[in-house]
Structure 1
Amino acid sequence: MAAYLEHVRVQRRLASRSLVIYEDGLRRLQSLAAQRGQDLLTLRPHQARGLLAALHAQSELGPRSLALMLSVWRGLYRWLGIERRVELNPFDGLRAPKAPKPLPKALAVDDAVQLADYVPAAVQGAVDPRLEARDRCVVELLYGCGLRVSELVGLDVQASAAALGWVDLQAGEAQVLGKGSKRRSVPLGSAALQALRAWLVQRVQLAGAEEPALLVGARGGRFGAPQIRAMLKTRAVAAGMPSHVHPHMLRHSFASHLLQSSGDLRAVQELLGHAHITTTQVYTQLDFQHLAKIYDAAHPRAKRK
């Protein structure tokens, strides 16, 4: 198992967080097999099914986590087969319980625009214009560009060898590093560019001379994801939003509203940086819900007596 972990670390270049998940999955497998007195190198399919059932019964893992553990176990035996340590993969064909697929929560168009246009009341001393310019820029980049919060936090003011991402005002785009260390270019709309320029004017008063981060906090260091979440939650309440707003909700809103307007699923996939079109297709269901609400509200035959 130690050799397999080294294999996925070096050959597959798994991130440190993924390695922790793999190590946990292998430890669980070893423990369950030991409890049943089973040799992992001679494991048969019916025994593998029993191990999965035991994991389900003994842990509080949900369907998604069980599927992840099963994937780790299946990968181990695939590697053992290549190494000629086992004759078959006992986990081939096994499926974890199906997980419910809740639809992503997106703001209505009017609510998203209201949040983006929100300006705090000018109470004497209550609003720092520097932080207000930054917070407005955050909202515009999340909703106007559909960035993940990790992508937003990783942006620097300019390109460099060490930069995870950066903004190019002249080209009107952001270069971001998404999941799987995949880079993509994201266009900056006019509202995002305007908010970005306004923030850069204020940024020089907060950021240290050697600080590369685009977004900085009151002490001049990089503005982190927890701080963005807290700020956005407070700002949404002040703006009168009907529900709790978090960064990923603005990404969902970006995708849903863009798809409603364009109908171009492939373009939305590219802008979001999804590896598979099936990930993006969930927004078509949100689009259908939107159309269904319009039908229920407007069509004479939809109104029930």
Structure 2
Amino acid sequence: MEAPEEAPLPPEEAALVARYLTHVRVEKRLADRTVTLYTLDLRRLAGLAHAARVPLTQVQPAHVRRWVAQMHGAGRSGRGIALILSGWRGFYAWLGREGLVSANPVVDVRAPKAPKPLPKALGVDDAVRFAAFQDEAAEPWVEARDAAIVELLYGCGLRVGELVGLDVRASAQARGWIDLQAADAHVLGKGSKRRSVPVGRQAAAALSAWLALRDGVCAEAATEPALFIGRTGRRLSAQAVWGRLRQRSLRAGLATPVHPHMLRHSFASHVLQSSGDLRAVQELLGHANIGTTQVYTRLDFQHLARAYDAAHPRARRSGK
């Protein structure tokens, strides 16, 4: 595929490409770097057309789709192909305005979708170690709060927005709340959809420890409905939770700084590996589409089955 891309352009086509590049540089005033990329993309187009024995002005959508498949098969990324197609599309749009082609052969051609990146999740040993970590240097109420935050994020798979939206108790104004007696977390997720998530024994114990200290943080704490508060008695923000988790993970000796969504990914990956129940994980995470949950099936966590004898190590109820 490289040889055709390096083939010299016929004089008339070289002149056509040169006119277009002058147009984008002078009239559209594109940056030199962009013009250089356009030049390379059009040389590639001309080389592929030359190999297919078709003039640039007679290229059809079928040709473009074949070349996209060739580039993809050669290992070029979907994003890279999309950028190339964008350059080609602009070239043929200009040819159309010049009356040199009747239709743009690239207009309906799309690059292959890039695979979604795998979610970053902690290994089971690191996740359990992080959940069990105790920061002896922290103030008792800060340590109790942060431990409860970790247990809810990893033990229940909550989003950080769902976590900080929790109130101490249910009310008409509450976005979410914890029912310790029923061992459930009621949260308001994306799309204003409510769901209930079971709270495991470890998370319930951590929450009880936090609630025992919460009202003593400051005078304002008793009148603040939020479950998780800061030093001033106001609801903890998502940004604050990010910062606390990062700091806590470094103190726990983890190699990778932990953020809230990493704990949610860890929850989903570990439960799915142990249970194999994709629909149940979808419901627990509050995903509207099963396709969103299926990304976790791509994670290779075969070793987790040996480490887990239940769906989640910190979600077992008493007596089970």
TM-score (norm 2): 0.60
Q: Structure 1's 211 and 292: CA in aligned 2 closer, same or farther, altered over 3 A?
A: closer
AA in 2 matched with 1:226: Q
**CA distance, structure 1, for counterparts of residue 126 and residue 202 of structure 2:** 16
Query: Counterpart of 2:198?
Result: 187
The answer on 1:200 being equivalent to 2:200 is no
Structure 1 residue ranges without an equivalent (≥5):
1-34, 36-45, 47-61, 67-91, 295-305
Alignment partner for residue 229 of structure 2, among 216, 238, 248? 216
**CA distance, structure 1, for counterparts of residue 211 and residue 252 of structure 2:** 24
Three-state SS of the structure 2 residue aligned to 1:185 is strand
Alignment partner for residue 269 of structure 2, among 251, 256, 267? 256
**Range with greater deviation from structure 2 (250-259 or 92-101):** 92-101
Query: Counterpart of 2:65?
Result: none
Query: Counterpart of 2:309?
Result: none
Compare CA radii of gyration and give the structure with the larger one: 2
How far 1:95 moved relative to its partner?
4.7
**CA distance, structure 1, for counterparts of residue 304 and residue 190 of structure 2:** 34
Q: How does 1:1-305 map to 2 (within 5 A)?
A: 95=110, 98-121=113-136, 126-206=137-217, 207-286=220-299, 289-291=300-302
**CA distance, structure 1, for counterparts of residue 304 and residue 158 of structure 2:** 28
Q: Structure 1's 273 and 94: CA in aligned 2 closer, same or farther, altered over 3 A?
A: farther
8 A Cα contact 2:186 2:196, kept in partner:
yes
Structure 2 residue ranges without an equivalent (≥5):
1-27, 29-60, 62-77, 83-106, 306-320
Could you report, residue by residue, the CA deviation over 1:162-218 in whole angstroms, capped at 9, with x for unpaired residues?
A: 111111111110110001110000000000000000000010112533200000001
**Range with greater deviation from structure 2 (160-169 or 183-192):** 160-169
Identity %: 62
**CA distance, structure 1, for counterparts of residue 171 and residue 280 of structure 2:** 28
Q: Structure 1's 293 and 158: CA in aligned 2 closer, same or farther, altered over 3 A?
A: closer
Three-state SS of the structure 1 residue aligned to 2:301 is helix
How far 1:219 moved relative to its partner?
1.1
Three-state SS of the structure 2 residue aligned to 1:209 is helix
How far 1:96 moved relative to its partner?
6.6
**Range with greater deviation from structure 2 (202-211 or 246-255):** 202-211
**CA distance, structure 2, for counterparts of residue 161 and residue 292 of structure 1:** 45
**CA distance, structure 1, for counterparts of residue 290 and residue 237 of structure 2:** 30
Number of residue-to-residue matches in the alignment:
210
AA in 2 matched with 1:170: Q
TM-score (norm 1): 0.63
8 A Cα contact 2:273 2:304, kept in partner:
no
How far 1:252 moved relative to its partner?
0.3
8 A Cα contact 2:245 2:260, kept in partner:
yes
**CA distance, structure 1, for counterparts of residue 183 and residue 108 of structure 2:** 48
How far 1:101 moved relative to its partner?
1.3
8 A Cα contact 2:167 2:175, kept in partner:
yes
AA in 2 matched with 1:103: L
